[in-house]
Structure 1
Amino acid sequence: MDTLDEFDTKIIKELEKDGRMAFSAIANNLKISNTMVHQRINRLIEQGIITGIKPIIDEKKIGYDWGAFTGLTLNKDADSSRIIEELKKIPEITECYYVTGSFTLYIKMIAQNHEHMRKLLYEKIDNIPGIAKTDSMIELGCAFKRNISL
């Protein structure tokens, strides 16, 4: 594992405050050179520690009022790669995880309303060959979501 030094950690914390912050502003805040900030961020991206800087969208404000966490039971776990590729084609599925326990995969999906959610489950997800069963929990709102504290 690549270790983060004090400057890497401080740079990441600055980016967490505002991912659009100019490198020069980060350099000023941390009292280091703009070049150092640029080099450090590039290295963190190359190492895969920072995987991207992108907007965080509030789905509810763009009309997606429903969210669900759904466990997927597969006919054969060996089909998971193919099934994941099919799930990627459904834009309302925003996250997909390998899990232990009763399910093989666990997904997060969003929908505009209950009818949209029903269509996602019954007309899209359930029609993917190899999915034996789904088990969903409707989410009622996110209490908090954050990165690991550095």
Structure 2
Amino acid sequence: MNGVDDFDIQILKELEKDGRMAYSAIATTLGVSNTMVHQRISRLTEQGILTGIKPVLDEKKIGYDWGAFTGITLEKDHDSNRIIEELKKIPEVTECYYITGNYTLYIKIVAKNHEHMRKVLYEKIDNISGIAKTDSIIELGCAFKRNLIL
């Protein structure tokens, strides 16, 4: 597993339970020193395996009741980097993937209601130069969302 040993996996499992967990608590749970946990987390971060500890928001609980997955067809695929930079400027676009198949990009959009979703799609996304068409599927709720289980 690319520079990850069993001890690293144990640390990652502890962080998965609570990303705010103190290194000392992880050290106590695993029976090792604080320094060792700190060094391991630093190495995992430097290697890009651990990309950060950030809050996970429940969008619905903060008023964003609508979600959509949208496939984007580009006029020219080589414009994808520029279009991705434009998509990053839209706060309601929370995820963006390169995919194979009928679309070049696949994004996740969150919105407060159907009118907000319409504005995001038609006034923000469709106005990005180089987007030929979008195809959206409304999500009705998340059954589960998780990191890879190690």
| Partner amino acid, structure 2, of 1:121 | L
Which letter maps to 2:53? I
Moved over 6 A (4+): none
- 2:59 and 2:128 map into 1 onto residues whose CA distance is 25
State the SS of the aligned residue for 2:50.
coil
Residue of structure 1 in register with 2:95 after alignment: 95
Q: CA deviation at 1:144?
A: 0.6
- Give the letter for the 1:61 counterpart: K
| Counterpart mapping for 1:1-150 below 5 A | 2-150=2-150
Per the normalisation by structure 2, the TM-score is 0.98
CA-based RMSD: 0.7
Q: Give how far 1:60 is off.
A: 0.4
Q: Which amino acid aligns with 2:10?
A: K
Counterpart-to-counterpart distance in 1, 2:126 and 2:81: 16
Task: State the alpha-carbon separation in 1 of the partners of residues 4 and 88 from structure 2.
Answer: 32
Letter in 1 for 2:44: L
Which whole-Å CA distance do the structure 1 matches of 2:2 and 2:44 have between them?
9
Following the alignment from structure 2 to structure 1, what is the Cα–Cα distance between the partners of residues 17 and 149? 13
Which amino acid in structure 1 is aligned with residue 144 of structure 2?
Answer: F
Q: Return the alpha-carbon distance in structure 2 between the equivalents of residues 63 and 144 of structure 1.
A: 19
Question: 1:8-51 CA distances to partner (integer Å, 9 max, x unpaired)?
Answer: 00000000000000000000000011000000000000000000
Q: Deviations over 1:44-70 (max 9, x none)?
A: 000000000000000000000000000
How many Å apart are 1:147 and its aligned residue? 1.1
How far is 1:3 from its partner? 2.6
Which amino acid in 2 is paired with 1:15? L
SS in structure 1 of the partner of residue 97 of structure 2: strand
Equivalents in 1 of 2:54, 2:113: separation in Å? Answer: 26
Distance in structure 2 (CA, Å) of the matches to 1:73 and 1:113? 25
Alpha-carbon distance, 1:131 to partner? 0.3
Name structure 1 gaps, 5 residues minimum: none
Can you list the C-alpha shifts for 1:78-107, whole angstroms capped at 9, x where unaligned? Answer: 100000000000000000000000000000
